[in-house]
Amino acid sequence: MIIIFLIFFLICYLISFLIVKRFIKKNKWQWFFIIGWIVALLGFIINVFLHHDFGMDGFANISDLKIALVFSIYETILEPLHHILFLVAVIWFIVEWYKKKKIFKQI
């Protein structure tokens, strides 16, 4: 089951990579992290919504204990990663904005 969440996590960042590759010209790494964060967050919300509200356990008959275990592993191992990357991107944008502002004041 953890492999399913790893694949989900990789798919989120693959979608982010494709969006950035196609539409973004500047600050590609920052936008890659931000779009990856948004896609991962939306995917996780949709996954929780489908499981808890509709009882959709996927194609296999999986017990609630296994699903709870996998959600807890996901939240402790993978969950902080995309938030950290999002914060890195936001701080990166702030630093670049401050540098540009400082350069324009000198001119």
pLDDT tens digits along 21-75: 888 888 888 888 888 888 877 777 777 776 666 555 555 566 666 666 666 666 6
Q: At what angle do helices 28-54 and 79-106 cross, to 10 degrees?
A: 150
Q: What is the DSSP string of 85-98?
A: HHHHHHHHHHHHHH
Q: In this predicted structure, what is the pLDDT of residue 107?
A: 63
Identify which has the larger pLDDT, 25 or 2.
25
pTM (whole model) above 0.85 = no
Cα 83–chain centre separation: 7
Q: How far apart are CA 72 and CA 84, in angstroms?
A: 18
In one letter, which amino acid is 54? F
The ranges assigned to domains in the chain are 2-106
Q: What is the arithmetic mean of pLDDT over 76-97? A: 80
- Reported as half-sphere exposure (CB side, CA atoms, 13 A), residue 70 has a value of 18
